[in-house]
């Protein structure tokens, strides 16, 4: 594992277990698993082994799993693939910008999300489609179950990985390998029932997801998932305690901070908070200078200079925003140092 000291950004280096396995994976996983030569059959076995690991961690069947070279295309495959001409597409105000782009194209109906993360889902008809996220990648807030929705459900599990189960009813689901310290450039896509899903891209076989992908990366990603899932399980209580400590520090040590959600409504390793009257760009730069890498949803940190649509939709403060991702390797000492630095910098910038 590369050093994660001071790293609280969502992306991490490839997990050391996957990195050690990568050369071997490329050695063995190069043949096309779909062909019928001996080498291809061996690759097909490797493909199945990788799929088995994903299937067992995600609680789906092996035959429901497909790999994608581009995780982002999975949003289009999943949502557009479930739609029929009479469908209404529902999505929430805190969905990812990929979902926004599709919904704007299809005149979807946006559902409000309250400051506590609550959303009212419509009942919908059987052909309506709901884009639903297990948890929000910015605030860490877990979504309520969409159990009252009567239509088809696309599950965006790209923020939670294997940490949250799929809802009881789901039709398509999407994961991103980066979330479990796997290699970039791999998405895992699942279709619950091929009879309600059609590939929305130009295709030869309407049931295939028509995406080329790298089998060696899928194999390495499966290893990363197995190891990092176990590390999360082992560190779950420690990470929850660290999260609680950060929340308590912000509440008692720094005035006028807007923290998203509560310990009970969020994933323990994701945390978003905003300091009133603080310029996020100066905050990010100063933290970076001191060796702490953090993310921010403030406008000055985005490519289009717009504030995070997630923070704005929930009524959370968009300036002075800090987004922390705690990794299994994150220690309490690192957090103590970060909190001291945060307090110093915020008080300095407010002066």
Q: Which residues bind other proteins (CB under 8 A)?
A: 256, 258, 274, 276-279, 298-300, 305-307, 311-312, 315-320
Shortest distance in whole angstroms from residue 275 CB to other proteins: 9
Q: How far is the CB of 350 from other proteins (least distance, A)?
A: 9
Please name the residue that has the structure tokens 């950060």. Answer: 246
Question: What is the rounded distance in angstroms from the CA atom of residue 310 to the CA atom of residue 138?
Answer: 7
CB of 38: closest distance to other proteins in angstroms? 59
- C-beta of 94 vs 239, nearer to other proteins: 94
Would you say 179 or 316 has its CB closer to other proteins?
Answer: 316
Structure tokens at 192: 């619950």
**Smallest distance from the beta carbon of 320 to other proteins, in angstroms?**
6
| CB closer to other proteins, 57 vs 309 | 309
SS3 state at 91: strand
Residue count (the chain): 351
Q: Fill in the DSSP letter of residue 122.
A: -
Nearest distance, CB of residue 93 and other proteins, angstroms? 12
Of 126, 84, 71, 78, nearest to 102 by C-alpha is 78
Nearer to other proteins, 291 or 315 (CB): 315
**What is the rounded CA–CA span in Å between residue 211 and residue 201?**
10
Which residues have C-beta within 8 Å of that of residue 261, sequence separation ≥ 6?
A: 116, 117, 139, 140, 141, 272
The rounded distance, in Å, linking the Cα atoms of 65 and 52 is: 9
Burial of 306 (0-12, 13-18, 19+ CB in 10 A): exposed
Tell me if 89 sits within 8 A of 103, measured CB to CB.
yes
Q: Kindly state the tokens that stand for 77.
A: 């495959």
Kindly state the smallest distance separating residue 268's Cβ from other proteins, in Å. 24
Nearest distance, CB of residue 144 and other proteins, angstroms: 22
Name beta bridge partners: 295. 323
**Pick 75 or 275: Cβ nearer other proteins:** 275
Q: Of 239, 215, 225, which Cα lies nearest the Cα of 329? A: 239
What 8-state DSSP symbol labels residue 135?
B
Comparing CB distances to other proteins, the nearer of 160 and 301 is: 301
- Choose between 92 and 158: whose C-beta lies nearer to other proteins: 92
Give the nearest distance from C-beta 95 to other proteins in angstroms. 17
| 265 close to 251: Cβ distance less than 8 angstroms | no
Nearer to other proteins, 128 or 258 (CB): 258
């Amino acid at each position: 594992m590369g050093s994660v000291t001071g790293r609280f950004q969502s992306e991490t280096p490839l997990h050391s277990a996957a990195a050690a396995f990568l050369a071997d994976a490329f050695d063995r996983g190069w043949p096309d698993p779909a062909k019928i030569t001996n080498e291809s059959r061996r690759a097909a076995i490797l493909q199945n082994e990788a799929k088995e690991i994903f299937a067992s961690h995600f609680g789906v069947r092996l035959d429901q799993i497909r790999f994608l070279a581009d995780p982002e295309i999975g949003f289009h495959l999943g949502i557009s693939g479930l739609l029929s001409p009479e469908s209404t597409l529902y999505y929430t105000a805190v969905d990812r910008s990929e979902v926004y782009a599709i919904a704007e194209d299809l005149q979807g109906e946006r559902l409000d999300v309250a400051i506590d993360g609550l959303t009212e889902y419509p009942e919908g008809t059987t052909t309506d489609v709901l884009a639903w996220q297990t948890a929000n990648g910015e605030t860490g807030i877990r979504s309520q179950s969409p159990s009252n929705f009567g239509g088809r459900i696309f599950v965006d599990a790209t923020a939670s990985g294997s940490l949250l189960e799929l809802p009881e009813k789901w039709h398509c689901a999407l994961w991103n390998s980066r979330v479990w310290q796997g290699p970039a450039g791999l998405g895992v896509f699942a279709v619950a029932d091929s009879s309600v899903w059609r590939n929305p891209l130009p295709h030869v076989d309407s049931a295939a997801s028509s995406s080329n992908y790298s089998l060696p990366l899928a194999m390495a990603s499966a290893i990363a998932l197995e190891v990092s899932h176990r590390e999360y399980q082992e560190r779950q209580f420690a990470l929850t305690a660290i999260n609680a400590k950060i929340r308590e520090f912000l509440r008692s040590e720094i005035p006028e901070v807007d923290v998203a959600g509560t310990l009970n409504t969020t994933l323990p390793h994701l945390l978003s908070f905003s300091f009133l009257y603080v310029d996020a760009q100066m905050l990010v730069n100063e933290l970076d200078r001191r060796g702490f890498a953090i993310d921010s949803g403030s406008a000055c940190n985005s490519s289009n200079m717009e504030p995070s649509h997630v923070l704005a939709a929930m009524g959370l403060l968009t300036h002075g925003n800090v987004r922390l991702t705690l990794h299994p390797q994150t220690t309490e000492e690192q957090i103590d140092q970060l909190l001291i630095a945060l307090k110093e910098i915020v008080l300095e910038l407010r002066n």
